[in-house]
A and B are shown apart, each in its own frame.
Chain A
Amino acid sequence: MAKFTDKNSYTILFAVIMVLVVGSLLAGVAQGLSGRIAENQRFEKQQNILYAMGVNTNEGTSDVSFIPATEVEPAFHKYITHQLVIQGDKVTEDPEAYLIDIKKEEHMAKEDPNYVRRLPLFVGEKDGNTLYIIPMRGKGLWDAIWGFVSVDTDFVVHGVYFDHAGETPGLGANIKERYFMDDFQGEEIMSGDVFKGIDVAKGNNDPTNKRKDDQRVDALAGATITGDGVTAMIKKDVGLYIPYLKKLKNESQKTEVPNAVQDTVEPTDSIQ
């Protein structure tokens, strides 16, 4: 005797109910957790920005060690003194500039030639130094790579943070290992007055990265395309900020917040 589960009508009914139940379950879970997930992503972005400017708990460890998520928000407001948005010649202050999706901005600028993309720039103060933290996004071997680089007023790299969506563990994924990121510290991104970026270079004969004025760091073995992606990402995205940073440098024999910022910015209470 045929089982009732063999009937076509039962099969269709089961499939419909299964899709409805599973779909509702997933929608409910996604909806219920979306607030918490968004908050975690926000904290992660703040941790990454702070990490790039050297605000982390790396001391005594060999791993990447962020400010704990529970402490990151006050630390972010303490160290990041200004969040700027550069849009063409216009520079404005926006306390939520760190939430700007640079992938979306890049896409919109590509789709619409008239759109002037918004470039978020973070100004931080640490140990009496003014640091500019620049977000970046590029392509690795398998998927997107992104990160932040912080430079001081002399265009010397103070720190970087890199991350990736799907690079090979043990190979390209090592761009987010501390030993690779630490190599960027002290590198100069300019050669004289010309922006060069930093090359992730194979066989640069400087494995301990003592030379800081050659715009090169040692590559990762077996991760040529990811390394090239990091090089291209720095050139492409940091390059966009150079005209503004040069302008600031020329103006800022006065050390404080740039005139260009003050001219166009309405100070807000949330900015410390």
Chain B
Amino acid sequence: MALLSRKDSRLILDPLADNNPITIQVLGICSALAITAQLKASIVMALSVMGVLAIGNVVISLLRNVIPGKIRIIAQLVIVAALVIVVDQVLKAYSYELSKQLSVFVGLIITNCIIMGRFEAFALANGPWRSFLDGIGNAAGYGIILVIVGFFRELLGSGTLLGYKVLGDPIEKTGLYAIGYEDNGFMLLSPMALIVIGIIIWVQRSRNKALVEAE
């Protein structure tokens, strides 16, 4: 017996590619531009969004029949803000190092449009288990793009991956630097994240013509 029904597994698999929150729904772009200069920050952000989105989706889903429609956006904001603060405080108490890496990005999690988008579009209309899977799937789809962008920006911008020098030493002129390679400082600037995301969107739509909007 499969762990998840076909319908449930689509909640996780669809956002990874054909319904990706960044490349297809064009959500969460701001944080993807801001924090992808390093692969480590991209991974930490992806995991944090996954935690907040999955739990937030479940909470909203449980409350979906009692949240007044007039203040539902405020209620969603309060819940996501509270969750982020709780996560941050728990990390500060029990995993101080990780909380320090996260600190810059906590505000960005609260303002991440994917979170509000999934609360509004899915959790308000579905049960807690399916909302949980939807949260995991969408955060994973968001995380994949963040990791791809972070990979190329750190590799081409700093010559490192997760802080390790993989292209050689730019000062001692070893590895690729010995044959004249130079780091591309533009890769560390936010506009280059937009260009890398644009390239990913281009590649994805070239491979799957069904994603291209009819003119």
A36: which B residues are within 8 A, CB to CB? 93-94
Q: Quick one: which of B37, B68, B85, B94 has the most chain A CB within 10 A? A: B68
Q: Quick one: which of B75, B96, B153, B171 has the most chain A CB within 10 A? A: B96
A15: which B residues are within 8 A, CB to CB? 71, 74
Which residues of chain B from 64 to 95 have any CB-CB distance to chain A below 8 Å in the complex? 65-71, 74-75, 78-79, 82, 85-86, 89-90, 92-94
Known contacts A11-B71, A25-B82, A169-B41; A222 and B66 CB within 8 A of each other: no
Q: Is the CB of A5 within 8 A of B188?
A: no
**What number of A-B contacts does a CB cutoff of 8 Å give?**
77
A40: which B residues are within 8 A, CB to CB? 92-93, 96
Q: Is the CB of B86 within 8 A of A37?
A: no
Q: Is the CB of A6 within 8 A of B90?
A: no
B89: which A residues are within 8 A, CB to CB? 29-30, 33, 37
Known contacts A6-B70, A10-B68, A222-B185; A37 and B171 CB within 8 A of each other: no
Known contacts A26-B85, A40-B93; A171 and B71 CB within 8 A of each other: no
Known contacts A14-B68, A26-B86; A170 and B37 CB within 8 A of each other: yes
A18: which B residues are within 8 A, CB to CB? 75, 78
Determine whether A63 belongs to the interface, using a CB cutoff of 8 Å to chain B: yes
Determine whether A88 belongs to the interface, using a CB cutoff of 8 Å to chain B: no
Closest-CB distance, B136 to chain A (whole angstroms): 24
**What's the Cα separation between A223 and B43 when bound, in Å?**
24
Which residues of chain A from 1 to 45 have any CB-CB distance to chain B below 8 Å in the complex? 5-6, 10-11, 14-15, 18-19, 22, 25-26, 29-30, 33, 36-37, 40, 43-44
Q: Is the CB of B90 within 8 A of A29?
A: yes
Q: Is the CB of A22 within 8 A of B185?
A: no
**What's the Cα separation between A235 and B93 when bound, in Å?**
35
Which residues of chain A from 221 to 245 have any CB-CB distance to chain B below 8 Å in the complex? 221-222
Chain A 139-178, CB-CB to B under 8 Å as 1, else 0, gives 0000000000000000000000000011011110000000
Closest-CB distance, A153 to chain B (whole angstroms): 31
A222: which B residues are within 8 A, CB to CB? 185, 188-189
In this complex, what residue of B is CB-closest to A171? B188
Q: Is the CB of B185 within 8 A of A37?
A: no
Chain B 129-171, CB-CB to A under 8 Å as 1, else 0, gives 0000000000000000000000001100110000111000001
Determine whether B38 belongs to the interface, using a CB cutoff of 8 Å to chain A: yes
Complex partner residue of B82 from A26, A33, A37, CB under 8 angstroms: A26
Q: Is the CB of A33 within 8 A of B92?
A: yes
Determine whether B54 belongs to the interface, using a CB cutoff of 8 Å to chain A: no
A166: which B residues are within 8 A, CB to CB? 104
A168: which B residues are within 8 A, CB to CB? 37
Chain B 29-71, CB-CB to A under 8 Å as 1, else 0, gives 0000001011001000000000000000000000001111111
**What's the Cα separation between A207 and B37 when bound, in Å?**
23
Q: Is the CB of B157 within 8 A of A14?
A: no
Closest-CB distance, B186 to chain A (whole angstroms): 9
Q: Is the CB of B86 within 8 A of A29?
A: yes
Complex partner residue of B69 from A6, A25, A29, CB under 8 angstroms: A6
In this complex, what residue of B is CB-closest to A164? B104
18 residue pairs A–B, Cβ–Cβ below 8 Å? A5-B66, A5-B69, A11-B70, A14-B66, A14-B67, A14-B68, A14-B71, A15-B74, A22-B78, A29-B85, A29-B86, A33-B90, A37-B92, A40-B92, A62-B163, A170-B158, A170-B188, A208-B171
Q: Which 8 residue pairs spanning A and B have beta carbons closest together?
A: A170-B37, A33-B93, A36-B93, A40-B96, A11-B68, A170-B188, A169-B37, A22-B82
